[in-house]
Amino acid sequence: MANGPAVGIHDLSFATTEFVLAHTALAEHNGTEIGKYHVGIGQRSMSVPAADEDIVTLGAAAAAPLVARHGSDGIRTVIFATESSIDQAKSAGVYVHSLIGLPSAVRVVELKQACYGATAALQFAIGLVRRDPAQRVLVIASDVSKYDLDSPGEATQGAAAVALLVAADPQLVRIEEPSGVFTADVMDFWRPNYREAALVDGQESITAYLQAVEGSWKDYTEQGGRSLGEFAAFCYHQPFTKMAYKAHRHLLNYNGHDTDAAEVTRAIGHTTAYNNVIGNSYTASVYLALASLLDHADDLTGQAIGFLSYGSGSVAEFFAGTVVAGYRAHLRTQAHREAIDRRTSLDIARYRDLHERSFPTDGGDHPTQAQTTGPFRLAALRDHKRIYETR
């Protein structure tokens, strides 16, 4: 364990979209038996962005409550993790920096490695805070997962942003050393620059994920990590909710443990409540699982939580955190429930219209229809520039 103060997640907030599509509506449209969604992949609904919402508006909405509660003093770094980037050069975090009123003496960068990027951001943030414990780092994970209409991946779509304030002596979760890491060059999921929707080999992706679970856990134990029995709960990346169950059963099998259904549910059941109704949020997913766990579980004070972060292509990391005494006083459970409950239901026609909408590429003046009731909106694309405004 490194010397110096404990470092970890001081505060956590998430935001999701204006709209929601129920899987019952999708199933009725495409003739799928609803059990394939509710049971097969463990999804009940998906968040759908309004025309004037994107990773910037979601990221700013997630981050603003952290700044409102703690102020901006000491925040000298913003790390924005996403795999649905809006620009090949400028970090989406720079727009957020402006929208939430951070001072100019801040470095801002964007990180990418599929769904793993936010964990890289968290680990880099911990390193910065260890170097100067007076500093705090704002980590934002924001994504809109999008697949082609009528494709196998369509039912796993979703959108959300999670913002983490990383600091010394954190109020929620102390992040421990060591980490177990794993990389393998596989083509299970990718999105070339010329495509808006990702490409995915579903079976290859499940196989690659489970391989990464093994590899990162093996490295974690070789680095001197905790034993499996020490963990009270596990937060897995959830491309769909049932994947967390597959992953945990695989980890138990790999370690020669019984895969009793009740034991699996005890370990991960509380982590899936938000993903079940939001859908895949890519980089935000594993930290949405953490939010769900902290908001729904009985008192976890002093308990160890395992994190398995996976990003296709592929990179994975297994690490541990310990829940801090008094954490419940700092949770945003009510705000999180309101973020989910405020969404307006879409019919299938309106959902498909929003899905297929894209900006022209001619550099003209293209205002967006005002739809979101959230605090920030994408007002227009003008001269190839994205114009944001505070509502």
Catalytic site includes residue 115: yes
Q: What is the mean pLDDT of residues 360-379?
A: 97
Tokens 């001619």, residue located = 362
> So what's the pLDDT on residue 123?
98
pTM: 0.98
CA distance 374 to 362: 28
The active-site residue out of 18, 53, 83, 110 is 83
If you count them, how many residues does the chain have?
Answer: 391
Q: Which of 10, 23, 237, 336 is catalytic?
A: 237
| Predicted confidence (pLDDT) at residue 203 exceeds the cutoff of 80 | yes
* Residue among 10, 23, 115, 176 flagged as catalytic: 115
Burial zone of 240 (CB within 10 Å; 0-12 exposed, 13-18 middle, 19+ buried): buried
83 is catalytic: yes
252 pLDDT exceeds 50? yes
* pLDDT digit string, tens, across residues 17-67: 999 999 999 999 999 999 999 999 999 999 999 999 999 999 999 999 999
Residue 58 CB contacts under 8 Å (≥ 6 apart), including other chains: 15, 16, 17, 49, 142, 144, 159, 160, 161
pLDDT, position 2: 55
Please tell me the distance from the alpha carbon of residue 120 to that of residue 166, in angstroms, as a whole number: 13
Q: Which amino acid is at 236?
A: Y
Q: What is the DSSP string of 335-381?
A: HHHHHHHTPEE--HHHHHHHHH----SS--EEEPP----SSEEEEEE
Q: What is the pLDDT of residue 143?
A: 98
Map out the domains of the chain with their CATH numbers: 7-390 (3.40.47.10)
- Give me the sign of the Cα torsion angle 300, 305, 310, 315: positive
Kindly state the average pLDDT of the residues 238-248: 97
What CA–CA distance (Å, rounded) separates 352 from 348? 6
The helix (run of H) or strand (run of E) holding residue 46 is strand 45-48
Q: Which two tokens stand for residue 332?
A: 């945003």
- At residue 172, what are phi and psi to the nearest 5 degrees? -110, -65
